[in-house]
Amino acid sequence: DTEVTQTPKHLVMGMTNKKSLKCEQHMGHRAMYWYKQKAKKPPELMFVYSYEKLSINESVPSRFSPECPNSSLLNLHLHALQPEDSALYLCASSQVGLQDSYNSPLHFGNGTRLTVT
Amino acid sequence: GENVEQHPSTLSVQEGDSAVIKCTYSDSASNYFPWYKQELGKGPQLIIDIRSNVGEKKDQRIAVTLNKTAKHFSLHITETQPEDSAVYFCAASKVINAGNMLTFGGGTRLMVKP
């Protein structure tokens, strides 16, 4: 079983709804990530948080709003989504990367399968 | 930015045979190369990784090789078993803003026939 827990496992929402995806880890990792994965495609990076601060936003539309309330939790708030936003949303965590040093692996959760109707 | 190419996109082998998946990357600043296995309905799970100061790493039936000069790295699975069937992703990574920036290859669907 993964050490990164994502809830809910499945979510169906209308285009006018507001919903949130939640992610939790207790490995002491201070970097957390949101990825989006469409069917038969690799994961695509959306956001990176380092030390609870947003460090990377990969030009994601504002209808996706991330939040990192503490070092163990990561949320993704959803509002006014489009059907093409339907995908598997993956959360991951890792130790913080050090410049000019080697990376540590990302640990992924099992994702939230989102369907926008 | 980084570009990772992965081949083949599908691979079918007989149980007990070996499987090889190859990747190339473009950014010489990438220094960490993990491989992930993704089963249906699950998130990617790390199976092996290699850093740029190492040429080869092995863990039981799985091995990874890295040619930093040519920007190639490969995954080798020996004595394949039906439970090895999954989608495998290679990735290249570097640190940006204290985050580990992973760029994934397109994935290889491995099917092991009993």
Per-residue pLDDT tens digits for B59-102 = 999 999 999 999 999 999 999 999 999 999 999 998 877 778 89
Best of A24, A45, A102, A104 to substitute, by most chain B Cβ atoms within 10 angstroms, is A102
Query: B45-48 long-range CB contacts below 8 Å, 24 or more apart?
Result: B45/A2, B45/A108, B46/A105, B46/A106, B46/A107, B47/B88, B48/B75
CA A51 to CA A31: how far, in whole Å?
Answer: 6
Residue B64 burial class via C-beta count within 10 angstroms: exposed 0-12, middle 13-18, buried 19 and up? buried
Q: Please give the structure tokens belonging to residue A57.
A: 């936003």
Chain B residue with minimum CA distance to A113 = B41
Q: How far is B19 from chain A (nearest CA, A)?
A: 20
A–B CB contacts, 8 A cutoff, strictly below: 83
Contact in structure between A56 and B97 (CB atoms under 8 Å): yes
> What pLDDT shows up at residue A102?
62
For chain B, the average pLDDT equals 95
Contacts of B94 in chain A (CB under 8 A): 103
Q: Is the bond preceding B8 in cis, omega lying within 30 degrees of 0?
A: yes
Radius of gyration for chain A, computed over Cα atoms and rounded to the nearest angstrom: 14
Chain A residue with minimum CA distance to B99 = A97
pLDDT band, very low/low/confident/very high, at B53 (cuts 50, 70, 90)? confident
List pLDDT tens digits, range A4-63: 999 999 999 999 999 999 999 999 999 999 999 999 999 999 999 989 999 888 889 999
Res. A1: pLDDT tops 80: no
